[in-house]
Chain A
Amino acid sequence: MNIATLLEMAADTLPDRIAITNGETALDFAGVLAASRAAAAMFTARDVAHVAYLDINTPAAPVALFGAALADKPYVPLNYRLTPTELQALLERISPALLIVGDTYRAPLVLPAGITAIGTSAFFDACTADNAARVETAANDDDQAIAVQLFTSGTTGQPKAALLRHGNLSAYILGTVEFAAADDDDATLISVPPYHIAGISAVLSSIYAGRRMVQLPNFDAATWLAVVHGQAVSNVFVVPTMLARIIEHIEQTGAPPHLPHLRAIAYGGGKMPAQIIARAIDLFPSVDFTNAYGLTETSSTIALLGPDDHRDAAASTDPIIQRRLFSVGRALPTVEIEIRDEAGLVLGPEDAGLVFVRGEQVAGEYRDQGSLRDGGGWFATRDRGFLDHEGFLFLDGRADDVIVRGGENISPGEIEDVLLSHPAVADAAAVAIPDTDWGEAVGAAIVFHPNATATRADLQDLVRVRLRSSRVPGDLRMFDVFPYNETGKLLRRVIRDQFSARPTIT
């Protein structure tokens, strides 16, 4: 099903409800559809292969997304944090394309051949003009047509172009969202960038649920709290770094959060530290917490730890149930998850290995490499983890981050959890460092709290006592701050690159 059908249904059922606002501009559901139909007419007339969007979240982003869907052209939102050189390289890969671009991002760009640019405001004004030409129906209802192409950051080499087909995205929405189930006064805050899969899925889910979207273009904790209050926001999605900053801000100002409309906090996009989520549950006792796990290649969420799971884990004295607070929950009803060892053998409960996923929403496909799904339709997430006896999935880092010391696989996560339990340690990362005896050895990058420190022997003893000697980092280095991407994923490659240049902890 074409994803534009989701919007057509919402516009037909709830035409006058506000669909999207950024505080300055607002569009109702009928308005979003009308603007998207005008965008589609513009894209069709341009004879381009792709529609690219390079800007912060504005109401023009969903209009471009659905307009591209109606015109049967892949929508390619680009990361505005990239350098002009990086962006030009990506634009060359999608030429010929129409680029919808904010003035700030347009100025430093030299447009490659085949790329025509239109300013975000000019695009939005043209699409919302009363006399704009509009298409009436989608150019294509083909599930196999490409809806969205996302350039994933990747840890090495060129960004990969992940493809999401209409069938993948619509299967995700139909499988997880009840049509028009949102109440009149429901509102969701969109604070993930438009080029992230969570930014795409937030638009599709909100439109289909009939839930008003409030866009927050640039995150900072004070603004977030003010907008959640001022716009009467009921649902939010946060990545771990955002939640950490919100909690920090609340604790620093000493003002208890007064957010009477906030009912649900969903989180994901990276590993949530245990102390952050525990503190958040304390601060927002009446709010429902949901942990979501998903990838770009899986059209967003594939597993959920829901509000009841959070409450059950918090209330239980059974360690097996308590620890589920640190899981990413269970597979969606429309998705299957299994764990395999390195040889491809399917593992049973409690056995850690590689996480595989299968389902209609799972795209697992790149522009230049084709489908990476195996013959059975399974896609390797490259995440490591295990399932418990009731299907709760526990993640254990990326397969690529495993430290292989003398043939033994060592997960950075368990070492980091132990190091983080030291009161002086603010952040910790275990990384592979080259070793002539073992091939790889364990290195530990440490960020200390302000005015706090620990000795090398302290930290090594802690790991030795809690784990075992093979896990003890031989080389410990001090970092001022760790590099994270915008969704809170630790950039381990950057830490590995900087490691040997950082001061040794003695």
Chain B
Amino acid sequence: MTATTYKAGTRLKSAVCDTQIMILRIPPTPVTITCGGHPVLPMAETPAAGITVDAAHAEGTLTGKRYVDEAESLEFLCTKGGAGGLAIDGVALGVKQAKALPSSD
């Protein structure tokens, strides 16, 4: 698996589940993004046959949640939830806890 340099605004999809993400923020250095233990793919690409969610990376994703690394140097928006868990260079991402705000409009 080769590391890739991404830019904000890129949409990606899981190779093994329904998960889709949009990159909101990412450092300008090559990284490997995985979902369900397998590298994510550009939206137009067809996943390889015969691969499934790795049981060690099956935390699941939820639509509308934002996923960040510990340093919050990168941030993904999950635009479609799925069964796999997101990781960056092998380190699982966490859900960004947002403060609940009252509706103002």
| A interface residues with partner B (beta carbon < 8 Å) | 1, 5, 8-9, 12-13, 141-143, 174-180, 188, 198, 201-202, 205, 208-209, 211, 235, 237, 264, 266, 268, 288, 290, 292, 294, 300-301, 304, 306-307, 332-333
Q: Which of A9, A142, A177 has the most CB of B within 10 A?
A: A9
A288→B100 contact, CB < 8 A = no
Query: Contacts A12-B63, A12-B80, A13-B63; is A266 near B102 (CB within 8 Å)?
Result: yes
Does residue B101 face the partner (Cβ distance < 8 Å to A)? yes
Cα–Cα distance between A306 and B24 once the two chains are bound (Å): 28
Is B64's CB under 8 angstroms from A179's CB?
yes
B66 touches A174 (CB 8 A): yes
Q: Is the CB of A1 within 8 A of B103?
A: no
Chain B residues whose C-beta falls within 8 Å of the C-beta of A237 in the assembled complex: 104-105
User: In the complex, what residue of chain A is closest to B8 when comparing beta carbons?
Assistant: A143
Residues of B within 8 A of A177 (CB): 101, 103
Min CB gap B105→A, angstroms:
5
List 21 A–B pairs whose Cβ atoms lie within 8 Å, in order of A's numbering. A5-B79, A12-B63, A13-B63, A141-B10, A141-B11, A175-B98, A177-B101, A179-B63, A205-B103, A205-B105, A237-B104, A237-B105, A266-B102, A266-B103, A290-B104, A294-B104, A301-B105, A306-B101, A307-B102, A333-B98, A333-B99
Residue tally, chain B, CB below 8 Å to A: 21
Chain B interface (Cβ within 8 Å of chain A)? 8-11, 22, 24, 63-66, 77, 79-80, 98-105
Contact indicator B9/A142 (Cβ below 8 Å)? yes
Contacts of A266 in B (CB 8 A): 102-105
Which residues on the B side are within 8 Å of A8 (C-beta)?
79
Residues of chain B with a CB closer than 8 A to A304's CB: 101-102, 104
**CA–CA, A333 to B24, complex, Å?**
17
A174 near B104: Cβ-Cβ < 8 Å: no
Bound form: Cα–Cα A447–B100 in Å:
42
In the complex, the chain B residue whose C-beta lies closest to that of A205 is B105
Determine whether the beta carbon of B102 is less than 8 Å from that of A174: no
For A178, list chain B residues within 8 Å (CB): 64, 98, 100
Q: For the complex of A and B, list the 8 residue pairs with the smallest distance between their C-beta atoms, beginning with the closest.
A: A179-B64, A292-B104, A141-B9, A290-B102, A201-B105, A301-B104, A202-B105, A306-B102
User: Taking CB as reference atom, which chain B residue is nearest A204?
Assistant: B105
Contact in complex: B103, A209 (CB < 8 Å): yes
State how many angstroms separate the Cβ of B78 from the closest Cβ of chain A. 9
Rounded to whole angstroms, the CA-CA distance of A266 and B9 in the bound complex is 32
Measured between beta carbons, the chain A residues less than 8 angstroms from B98 are 175, 178, 333
> Which B residues touch A294, using CB under 8 A?
104
Q: B66 to chain A: closest CB distance in Å?
A: 7
> Do A332 and B101 have beta carbons less than 8 Å apart?
yes
* Interface contact B103-A188, CB-CB below 8 Å: yes
Q: Which residue in chain B gives the minimum CB-CB distance to A235?
A: B103
Given A12-B80, A13-B63, A180-B63, the answer on whether A1 and B104 have CB atoms closer than 8 Å is no
Q: How far is the CA of A294 from the CA of B22 in the complex (A)?
A: 28
Question: How long is the Cα–Cα vector from A300 to B105 in the complex, in angstroms?
Answer: 9
User: B105 touching A180 by the CB < 8 A rule?
Assistant: no
CA distance A13 to B79 in the complex (A): 10
Q: Of A177, A211, A288, which is in contact with the most chain B CB atoms at under 10 Å from its CB?
A: A177
Closest to A182 in B: B103
Across the interface, which residues of A come within 8 angstroms of B103, CB to CB? 177, 188, 205, 209, 211, 235, 264, 266, 290
A-chain residues with CB within 8 Å of residue B11 when the two chains form the complex: 141
Inter-subunit contact B77/A174 (CB<8 Å): yes
Cβ of A176 and Cβ of B104 under 8 Å apart?
yes
A309 to B79, CA, bound (A): 33
Taken together as a complex, chains A and B put the C-alpha atoms of A292 and B101 apart, in Å, by: 11
Chain A residues within 8 Å of B77, by CB: 1, 174
Please name the residue on chain A nearest to B65 by beta carbon. A179
How far apart sit A176 and B102, CA to CA, in the bound complex (Å)?
A: 8
Interface residue from A141, A202, A288, A333 paired with B102 (Cβ < 8 Å): A288
A186 vs B6: C-alpha distance when bound (angstroms): 39
Given contact pairs A1-B22, A292-B104, enumerate 19 new A-B contacts (beta carbons under 8 Å).
Answer: A5-B22, A8-B79, A9-B80, A13-B64, A143-B9, A174-B24, A175-B98, A177-B103, A180-B63, A188-B103, A201-B105, A264-B103, A266-B105, A294-B104, A300-B104, A306-B101, A307-B102, A333-B99, A333-B101
Taking the closest CB of chain A, its distance from the CB of B31, in whole angstroms, is 19
Q: How far is the CA of A379 from the CA of B80 in the complex (A)?
A: 35
Chain B contacts of A209 at CB under 8 A?
103
Across the interface, name the chain B residue whose C-beta is closest to A172.
Answer: B105
